[in-house]
Amino acid sequence: MKREILKMGDPRLLERAKLVERHATPELKALVADMRETMIAARGAGLAAPQIGVGLRVVIFGFEHNERYPDAEPVPYTELINPVLTPLTTEMEEDWEGCLSVPGLRGQVPRFTRLRYTGFDPEGRPILREVSGFHARVVQHECDHLDGILYPMRMRDLRLFGYTDVLFPDADVIEE
């Protein structure tokens, strides 16, 4: 079932989400299915459970080609429970991000360029990956939602924050 996406200003987006304690439950599978349907309907690159008002450490992300990020390399579709991120470098890179909870806007956000992430899929099977580039960026963005952090809170220069249609007037960017 497609769910409503909370927008910035809703205090639920600022809470720290709780660990999922039991894997492979019908409730967890239903949550992930709802998140997937909601993300696809919004043409998003990722979604975190708090964005639909569920305070659990669950994120999904991935796409073959995303209209919101036409230049991004594909990221395998991933459902990740209780993620733990470990940067593999101190190097950070700034690039544009948007968020389904911050519709119509984009900002330049610094992120680690390479990291390892671990966690579980909804069946309880472990996931361990080392990633870089846009994949690393998306994971950091989604996992920030689990700690109540929205991307504008990570920005260093608010002059690089604006409306998508003004920043990218010629781009074929689908708005959320």
Residues near Ni ion (CB under 5 A): 99
State how far the alpha carbon of 19 is from the alpha carbons of 56, 58, 84, 105, 119, in Å.
Answer: 6, 8, 11, 30, 11
Q: Report the residue number, 60 or 99, with the smaller CB distance to Ni ion.
A: 99
Q: Report residue 10 as tokens.
A: 């809703």
* Given 130, 142, 175, 176, the catalytic residue: 142
Residue 102 CB, nearest approach to Ni ion (Å)? 7
Nearest to Ni ion of 23, 152 (CB atom) = 152
> What distances in angstroms separate CA 66 from CA 71, 75, 81, 90, 129, one per listed residue?
8, 10, 23, 28, 21
Residue number, 99 or 143, with CB nearest to Ni ion: 99
Of the pair 39, 99, the CB lying nearest Ni ion is at 99
Q: What angle do CA 57, 101, 28 make, to 5 degrees?
A: 30
24, 27, 130 from 30: Cα distances, Å: 10, 5, 28
Question: Is the Cβ–Cβ distance between 139 and 128 less than 8 Å?
Answer: no
User: Could you confirm whether 142 is annotated as catalytic?
Assistant: yes
Closest residue to Ni ion, judged by C-beta, is: 99
Cα 170 to Cα 154: distance, rounded to the nearest angstrom: 27
User: Which residue's structure tokens are 């593999």?
Assistant: 88
The label of the residue with tokens 């080392």 reads 130
- Residue 141 CB, nearest approach to Ni ion (Å): 6
* Rounded least distance, CB 20 to Ni ion, Å: 19
Minimum Å gap between C-beta 95 and Ni ion is: 14
Tell me the catalytic residues. 142
